[in-house]
Structure 1
């Protein structure tokens, strides 16, 4: 597993719930976007981004997201969702996700999201704050963090 998640500094463990399966007996396609959201929030917590939003009124908004399903996932299973920022612009960044099934021992899903920083008070795009940019750079250079 470690080799397949290499390069993803934040790993989020998510148990598959019975209720996430659909009539075809596998995890419903929309549930993967919740998995990505959970991993994204874990990544943001590593940056202390939520505290930054409260202080500055500047925070992230997902502008685009996609998912590639490689293998079906079923209950019971535990998923390891890796997240990283692969592109960093002035007012936006792109996150990548990879989902590893512990039961199957394989990557089942890949995804990404384009995220734009917004000044919620002014309702307009904003630059990524320097402190957050620095934390992203440090986190991406660090070893893997297991999010709880």
Structure 2
């Protein structure tokens, strides 16, 4: 767990709910995208991107997301979704996720998301604002 927290300084705790399991007795595959979403919004809040959306009308949109399932997760468990930045372009960046299971003491899931910065006032892509780029670089 210590290595995980060192590699992913922004991490979000998620408690697995009974209703997230499917007929095969493990967390359903689509639920992981909700876990990633929760971690993504937590990350955006921590670096100020959601504030930029409210004040400047510039914010993130999801272009693509992927998930690789390494080990099944079951109820009860507490998961930690670690988030860091991979590639960083002029108007987009890649977020990388690892999900760590407390009960298994292991990484269970790996994912990524391509995020495009969008100007909602002008309905077009936008350059990443300098203050957001600076924050993203800290987690690359």
Normalised-by-shorter TM-score class: over 0.9
Shift of 1:3: 1.2
- Do 1:21 and 1:75's aligned partners in 2 also have CA atoms closer than 8 Å? yes
Match of 2:51 in 1: 51
RMSD over aligned CA atoms reads: 1.1
Match of 1:18 in 2: 18
TM normalised by structure 1 equals 0.91
Give CA deviations for 1:21-67 in whole Å, capped at 9, x if unaligned. Answer: 00111000000000000111111011111111011111000100000
Shift of 1:5: 4.1
Match of 2:34 in 1: 34
Match of 1:101 in 2: 101
- Do 2:21 and 2:74's aligned partners in 1 also have CA atoms closer than 8 Å? yes
Unaligned runs of 5+ in 2: none
Distance 1:7 1:112 in 2: 15
SS at match of 2:90: coil
Q: How does 1:1-148 map to 2 (within 5 A)?
A: 1-138=1-138, 140=139
SS at match of 2:134: helix
Distance 2:47 2:3 in 1: 24
SS at match of 1:45: helix
- Do 1:5 and 1:98's aligned partners in 2 also have CA atoms closer than 8 Å? no
SS at match of 1:27: coil
Shift of 1:4: 3.2
- Do 2:11 and 2:80's aligned partners in 1 also have CA atoms closer than 8 Å? yes
